[in-house]
Amino acid sequence: MGHQPGIAEDEDDGICLCCAEQGLNAMISTPELSIRTQIAESYANDSFYTGIINYIRHPSEGSLAKLTKPTRDNIKRYALDGPLLTYTMDVFDPPRVVIPADDDLRARLVHEFHDTPTGGHLGREKTFAAISRVFFWPRMYKYIQKWVRSCEICQRVKPAPSSQAPLRPLPIATEAWRSVSMDFIFGLPPDEQKRTGVLVLWIDLAKWCILLQSPRMLRRRRPRRSSSISYFDITACLN
């Protein structure tokens, strides 16, 4: 059952007005081949793998001679799984589907394993490990490395290349005021002189805390004595 606009009345009904004002909210869907079908059809455009498939289907001296010497030496690693060509890295290694030299196909695979929410932008190593378990093509690692380097999200969230300095424990104080820890606290309610900061001095050995009022903006970018502070004529190292 569907709506049919009437022609007897001069004014359009509510449904017609709604469709005319908002427009048709239609989704455009483009049919896309499955991965298996796209791989099988892409072999025809790759002369290298076409020669291997022809030899496996019709083994002969002539078809073998058309292959390169490295390919002839490793021809036993290739096999057919229906319309798909597989390659085995080792004797105990499961066969992997060979991907022909098709940039669109390889980009589609890397996109599915890396850019999608299920891929999760896992980076170069984990993306290569996930794809290489199922598929194979020459120089796959460099292809994935270039893809990850051009990924905006990966470059934005990757950690800094420089390593952080290790933590160093504070020296053990032997006398009071020989080792002092300091820190600033800002954002406090202003006093009569509109000072909103506090300089906190902590004497490690005596467990003594001193609070000194401080303005919000320090006039000097560097203290007068950057490595020590004098209090009661005793010099202390700042931590």
Q: What is the CATH number of the domain that holds 73?
A: 1.10.340.70
Residues 6+ apart with CB under 8 A from 54: 63
Pairing relation of β-strands 84-87 and 78-81? Answer: antiparallel
Give me the pLDDT at residue 237, please: 61
Give me the pLDDT at residue 227, please: 40
Give the pLDDT band (50/70/90) at residue 26.
very low
Give me the pLDDT at residue 128, please: 93
Check whether residue 102 and residue 147 sit in a common domain: yes
Pairing relation of β-strands 208-214 and 228-231? Answer: unpaired
Q: How far apart are CA 132 and CA 143, in angstroms?
A: 12
Containing domain of residue 76, as a range? 35-156
Check whether residue 46 and residue 85 sit in a common domain: yes
Give me the pLDDT at residue 50, please: 92
Q: Residue 207: inside a domain, yes or no?
A: yes
Q: Residue 11: inside a domain, yes or no?
A: no
Q: How far apart are CA 230 and CA 177, in angstroms?
A: 9
Return the SS3 of 187.
Answer: coil
Give the pLDDT band (50/70/90) at residue 1.
low
Q: Tens of pLDDT along 72-129?
A: 999 999 999 999 999 998 878 899 999 999 999 999 999 989 888 877 888 889 999 9
Check whether residue 147 and residue 185 sit in a common domain: no
Check whether residue 88 and residue 143 sit in a common domain: yes
Give me the pLDDT at residue 208, please: 82
Q: Tens of pLDDT along 146-185?
A: 998 888 888 887 776 667 778 888 777 777 777 788 888 8
Whether residue 204 is predicted with pLDDT greater than 50 in this model: the reply is: yes
Check whether residue 47 and residue 106 sit in a common domain: yes
Check whether residue 185 and residue 149 sit in a common domain: no
User: Percent of the chain scored above 90 by pLDDT?
Assistant: 31
Nearest Cα residue to 80 out of 45, 114, 43, 112: 43
Q: Residue 21: inside a domain, yes or no?
A: no
pTM over 0.75: no
Whether residue 211 is predicted with pLDDT greater than 70 in this model: the reply is: yes
- Flag the least confident range among 38-47, 98-107, 187-196: 187-196
Check whether residue 67 and residue 139 sit in a common domain: yes
Q: Residue 102: inside a domain, yes or no?
A: yes
Whether residue 189 is predicted with pLDDT greater than 60 in this model: the reply is: yes
Question: What is the total count of domains within the chain?
Answer: 2
Is residue 239 a contact partner of residue 180, using CB atoms and an 8 Å limit? yes
Give the pLDDT band (50/70/90) at residue 32.
low
Check whether residue 183 and residue 147 sit in a common domain: no
User: Percent of the chain scored above 70 by pLDDT?
Assistant: 74
Check whether residue 49 and residue 138 sit in a common domain: yes
Q: Residue 29: inside a domain, yes or no?
A: no
Q: How far apart are CA 188 and CA 216, in angstroms?
A: 9
